Amino acid sequence: MEKKLCKLANKEYLKNNMKEYLELVVNAAYVCGKCGRVAKEEKYLCKPKNIHK
């Protein structure tokens, strides 16, 4: 995936790729400091902050 979830969620990505999206957010370890979205790897967010720190 090239783009960050922060941008993809605002397009048709969620509607068309829910299963893939859920794989990226289940057991999330990071939250985006800009939009509040979560992901299990920081590379999927534009301003990742570790939830566990």
What is the per-residue pLDDT across 7-34, written as a single tens digit (0 to 9) for each?
877 667 888 888 998 999 999 999 999 9
pLDDT of amino acid 42? 94
The sheet carrying 48-50 orders its strands as 38-39, 30-32, 48-50
pLDDT at 15 (0 to 100): 84
Residue type, 20: E
Tally of domains in the chain: 1
* pLDDT for res 1: 61
The residues that bridge with 31 in the sheet, in sequence order, are: 38, 49
Quote the CA–CA distance of 37 and 4 in Å, as a whole number. Answer: 10
The mean per-residue pLDDT over the stretch 33-37 comes to 92
Does 45 score more than 70 pLDDT? yes
Structural domain for 21, as ranges: 5-50
**The two three-digit tokens of residue 32, written as one number:** 């985006």
pTM higher than 0.75 for the full model? Answer: yes
